[in-house]
């Protein structure tokens, strides 16, 4: 659905401006891969706020409200503590701030694993409360039944294989996956199972490149790579990582800007002007008429 409202600028800095175009849809995303080929790769970035969505929306096909917000926004040690409330609230903000991209929201750890019915309750709540177009969940063949259950009931699902951050305690860390033959075979099998179950796309994270390529060539739905291969059908990054907001980022991240340095420098200048009473100046104060 397109943004059809304008927030009151007297009370909010967020002013999403409707554009003369329709929002992309999940079927349109799925159809970008034809006969095993995606001519124009899909572009996806994470977004957690309305303003961030506004800035990224025009350049993306999909905006992912990732459970990475647990670390990026809340300073948590992993994505495991993230709640449904967190995801629903941030997803609603991203939907309000966008008009073009398909908004997908992560299902947090513990909200879908118990049963397909449990997953449906969680997913339907997320979509109702946020207006997002679909959900993403981690796991391969073990989640195929759940993916089919949701898809058959009108909830589009994006899968996620390879390095699955919610399973970090089982995996023992964030190292690349697929280095052994057995693990590589499992990743490919997981992706095929999700594809056959009805996933409209599959994120392939942190796997050795030949396996990412094999997965992309083996399934009919688009693959979205992160730490995978340029030959995936699309790419995703955590926006704050590629903007240089953190000192330490995964090796697969390319830093397109150093926003943290810009923010720190601006704060330093502001602090100096406040302490010297140079700010506020006449332009920032109300003078008698």
pLDDT tens-digit map of 64-87: 999 999 999 999 999 999 999 999
pLDDT at site 185: 93
Q: List phi, psi (to 5°) of 240.
A: -65, -30
- What's this model's pTM, rounded to 2 decimal places? 0.91
Domain count, the chain: 1
The pLDDT-based confidence of 250 (bands split at 50, 70, 90) is confident
Specify the DSSP class assigned to residue 139. B
Q: Kindly state whether residue 73 falls inside one of the protein's structural domains.
A: yes
Q: What is the mean pLDDT of the chain?
A: 91
Beta bridge partners of 33: 38
* Residue 68 labelled as part of a binding site: yes
The pLDDT of residue 178 is above 70: no
Instruction: Give the CATH number of the domain where residue 110 resides.
Output: 3.20.20.60
Q: Is 67 annotated as a binding residue?
A: yes
Please check whether residue 62 is in contact with residue 42, taking contact to mean a CB–CB distance below 8 angstroms: yes
* Burial (0-12, 13-18, 19+ Cβ within 10 Å), 49: middle
Q: Is 138 annotated as a binding residue?
A: yes
- Let me know if residue 131 belongs to a domain: yes
Instruction: Flag whether 180 is marked binding.
Output: no
Please say if the pLDDT value at position 13 is more than 90. no
Question: Per the domain annotation, does 175 fall within a domain?
Answer: yes
Judged against a pLDDT cut of 60, whether residue 167 lies above it is answered with no
Segment 93-117 shows an average pLDDT of: 96
The CB density around residue 118, as the number of other CB atoms within 10 Å, is 14
The secondary structure element, H or E, covering residue 213 is: helix 209-218
- Mean pLDDT along residues 10-25: 66
Q: Does 106 carry a binding-site annotation?
A: yes
Q: How confident is the model at residue 130 (pLDDT cuts 50, 70, 90)?
A: very high
Give a yes or no: residue 222 inside a domain: yes
Query: Is residue 14, in this structure, part of any structural domain at all?
Result: no
Residue 281's pLDDT band (cuts 50, 70, 90): very high
Residues in the chain: 289
The pLDDT assigned to 4 comes to 37
Q: Which of 205, 214, 258, 273 is catalytic?
A: 205
C-alpha pair distances (Å), 205 with each of 81, 98, 257, 284? 20, 25, 23, 48
Query: Does residue 176 sit within a domain?
Result: yes
Residue 3 lies in a domain: no
Q: Tell me whether residue 61 is exposed, middle or buried, using C-beta atoms within 10 angstroms of its C-beta: 0 to 12, 13 to 18, 19 or more.
A: buried
129 carries an active-site annotation: no
Q: What is the mean pLDDT of residues 189-205?
A: 97
**Residue 11 located in a structural domain:** no
Look up the domain containing 272 and give its range: 26-284
């Amino acid at each position: 659905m397109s943004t059809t409202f304008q927030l009151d600028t007297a009370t909010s800095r967020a002013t999403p401006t409707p554009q003369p175009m329709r929002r992309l849809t999940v079927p349109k995303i799925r159809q970008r891969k034809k006969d095993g080929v995606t001519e124009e790769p899909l572009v996806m970035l994470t977004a957690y706020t309305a303003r961030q969505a506004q800035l990224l929306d025009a350049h993306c096909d999909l905006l992912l409200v990732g459970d990475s917000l647990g670390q990026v926004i809340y300073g948590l040690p992993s994505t495991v503590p993230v709640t449904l409330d967190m995801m629903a609230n941030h997803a609603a903000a991203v939907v309000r701030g966008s008009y073009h991209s398909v908004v997908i929201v992560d299902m947090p750890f513990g909200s879908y694993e118990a049963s397909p019915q449990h997953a449906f309750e969680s997913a339907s709540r997320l979509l109702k409360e946020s207006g997002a177009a679909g959900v993403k969940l981690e796991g391969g063949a073990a989640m195929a039944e759940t993916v089919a259950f949701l898809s058959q009931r009108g909830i589009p699902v994006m899968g996620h294989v390879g390095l699955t951050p919610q399973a970090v305690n089982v995996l023992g860390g964030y190292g690349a996956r697929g280095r052994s033959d057995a693990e590589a075979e499992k990743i490919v099998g997981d992706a095929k199972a999700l594809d056959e179950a009805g996933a409209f796309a599959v994120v392939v994270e942190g796997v050795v490149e030949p396996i990412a390529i094999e997965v992309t060539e083996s399934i009919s739905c688009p693959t979205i790579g992160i730490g995978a291969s340029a030959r995936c059908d699309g790419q995703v990054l955590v926006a704050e990582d590629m903007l240089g907001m953190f000192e330490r980022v995964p090796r697969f991240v390319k830093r397109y800007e150093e926003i943290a340095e810009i923010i720190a420098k601006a704060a330093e200048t502001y602090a100096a002007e406040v302490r010297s009473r140079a700010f506020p100046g006449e332009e920032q104060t109300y003078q008698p008429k």
